[in-house]
Structure 1
Amino acid sequence: MSGTRERLLVVCPGRGTYNQTEWGSLLRHAAGSEWLARFDARRREAGLPTLSELDGEMPFRQSLHGRGEHAAPLIHACALADLLAIDPGRYEIVAVTGNSMGWYIALAAGGALEHEEAFTLIGSMGLMMQEALIGGQLLYPWVDEQWRPQWSRRRELLALIGRLHGEEERELYLSIELGGMLVFGGNEAGLAALSEALPPRERFPLRLPQHAAFHTPLQREVRDAARERFTAAPFRAPRVPLVDGRGHVWTPWSCDPRALWDYTLGEQLVAPYDFTAALRVGVREFAPDRIVIPGPGATLGGATAQALIQLGWQGLDDKAAFQARQAEDPLLISMGIEAQRNLVVG
């Protein structure tokens, strides 16, 4: 590919990606940056610990760092540090998508929101969801150990939540289509019944700590409050195409900013987020050479690889084939892994 830039699809991470092992990664990559100083000043004015303090001075505690008003802006800042480090001379970002909260980061990465505006939106939504903390989320795989699709298992899981929902005041919904896993959202009664009904499999079923029932009707109250608080004014057509949680593409030349606001603070909050569909559209419509996941961490890599295996992208058909290709010439670059980050930074 001499003389041409490689095409990248950027996949922005969601909640749950900043954990003990990621503590310190923000300052490692962004200490002294002017934009981080601005973010810190904004949080100081709001009476919140700064991102630099959370990442460098306060020892990691899940009960603190995992709270929405801290976790969400930390993840945004880590992703921003990585995005700014990608070498524009060698790589062209042709489209941006994200998983769940990663959609807000994608809005900034694609230019539909300025990073300051995205910082406000991300921090505020994290706080609103933390204060409401309606319901929770539970994760369960439907692929086999080699990440090959088991479609009958997927159908059985969806049928199970259909049977449990509505009984004994249980509420259960599909929350996120996450590669080879399904994320379910529901109230406590629903999640308890689902956890009991699912056959144990390694560490699953896995309850996600400090997560509300995102992308389900249980978030209607948060949606209504967000629409009152945030206007469509800061939204604009993106500079780079965005693929949302339905697989819909928002292009620089055809985007209605108010419709983008309406989706972001409307359907996106209360309907299932189809991360798998977003990836499918991203790779088929924009033909990237590689897929890049900015930090923190690398937990989204497995789900992304599982989705690519379902698509048969670049001949991938199971976990072993994916790992062999990664060892030879990585198609999927997780910037939370330092050796992979070094492949794309300037």
Structure 2
Amino acid sequence: MSDSNTTDFTNPSTFILMGIPGLEAAHVWISIPFCAIYIIAILGNFTILLIVKREPSLHGPMYYFLCMLAVIDLILSTSTLPKMLNIFWFNSREIDFSACLTQMYFIHCFSGMETGILVAMALDRYVAICHPLRHSTILTNPVVAKIGLAVVLRVGMVILPYLLLARQWPYCRTNIIPQPFCMHIALVKLSCADTLASSYYGLFVLFCVMGLDAIFITISYIQILRVIFRLPTKDAPLKTFGTCGSHLCVILASYIPGLFISLMYRFSQNVPGHFHILIASVYVFMSPMLNPIIYGARTKKIRDRLLWLFTHKEP
């Protein structure tokens, strides 16, 4: 299909992903950190899954949610990064129309699932600290499975209209996407249909997923802090709150960069477009890389089993 932006692209068979426009000459060098991110994400998340599977003492709600997070991160990174590396290394820019829509759905869907699992982890920490004697009876295995299913169904159904709308739009401007992966906003800009309803729906999704999840996490930690500050001994609050350390680090790693990018898009109008795309790309893939590192470094049980895995010596 022609790349010309004057051709009629209604029902296009392919889109053209441009990678990072303006930095084409540096694509090979840019690929190095992205390749490292992908390798670390794959190895780290598979290691988490292996350790939890092999260690019976880790068969509990917190670690089941961690495994769900690892699976989500694996799917998110694998659905996008290999194609990016193909663009950077082999200039393989074409992507099938259906594959582009599928990639768009996966990016938005699994990014939303990640925040949902963070809410589930906040619930686990709330029950463990505020109702410790009832933790095992409240968060049973069937309940954990239902929470995981609810996270998947909620985001899957909320994001589905993105896919249905994008499949029906006529694309009469161009089939060139000036970034390394398919996103909803990129397809909105290519469509010559009235996309106002889709834009409003995007704001609804942002509030319904990211916004509500942030509110639920905040409420959970307010309740946790109320209980912690009532503990009688001086060391107890710090020790108890320390059990939330890994979860808080993952939350900060997910939300702070997102807030920074949102502010940058709105208030840094003079920043070059390729810098926006580069930073946004890094943000999409940072969580899959950082999550296993954070939990591996800050969770003693995982750290100990990781040490045993490589040395076969008990810590």
- Name the structure with the higher helix share: 2
- Scaled by the length of structure 2, what TM-score is found? 0.29
Greater length-normalized contact order (CA 8 Å, ≥ 6 residues apart): 2
Which one has a bigger Cα radius of gyration? 2
- Scaled by the length of structure 1, what TM-score is found? 0.27
